[in-house]
Amino acid sequence: MASTNDLKNGLVLNLDGQLWSVIEFQHVKPGKGGAFVRSKLKNVLSGKVVDRTFNAGTKVDTATVDKRDMQYLYRDGVDFVFMDSDTYDQITVPEATVGDAANFLLESAEVIVAMHEGTPLYVELPTSVVLEVTYTEPGLQGDRSTGGTKPATVETGYQIQVPLFLETGVKVKVDTRTGDYLGRVN
């Protein structure tokens, strides 16, 4: 148990039998009446975001979330297999739990898997990854100007927008949160 005064971003709460992660919170002390905490919570499993207000000092139930360093091994049908970097135990994580992270997962990639009572909740990627462009339309002479983009497919099969001058076979840095092109890697 914790108090609403102890809320911080990333804390996982157990409310009404569901797990909610605190995205943001604000302690409000109006001139009249009691203080309260306005929060934005994200359902850990479904991804649904809700606004919730608590009275200041209210007790909330926190959930124990164990974040482990793991290595992505391979895809097994619709599931993903990860190996714990410390114990070498392998776990299978369903595709729904991995979510959009699948667009940026390469074999042997290091990730963090959040677990609650042995159940994987979500996969946390580094903020950027280096991927090779496997296909893009050839650039034309003079396509060096700024602002123009074209679609490119990276080695995971995900499609991103890249500058016009990039060609197939180039390694690029991609933001895993937005899927944006961040730059070329030599």
pLDDT band, residue 1 (cuts 50/70/90):
confident
pLDDT for position 97:
83
State how far the Cα of 44 lies from the Cα of 64, in Å rounded to an integer: 13
Q: Is residue 41 scored above 90 in pLDDT?
A: yes
Query: What value does the mean pLDDT take over residues 53-77?
Result: 90
Q: Is residue 3 scored above 90 in pLDDT?
A: no
Query: What value does the mean pLDDT take over residues 160-168?
Result: 87
pLDDT band, residue 135 (cuts 50/70/90):
very high
For the chain, how many structural domains are there in total? Answer: 3
Same domain? 70 vs 50: no
Same domain? 118 vs 136: no
Choose one of 60, 77, 106: the last residue of a domain.
Answer: 60
pLDDT band, residue 134 (cuts 50/70/90):
very high
Q: What is the span of the domain harbouring residue 32?
A: 2-60
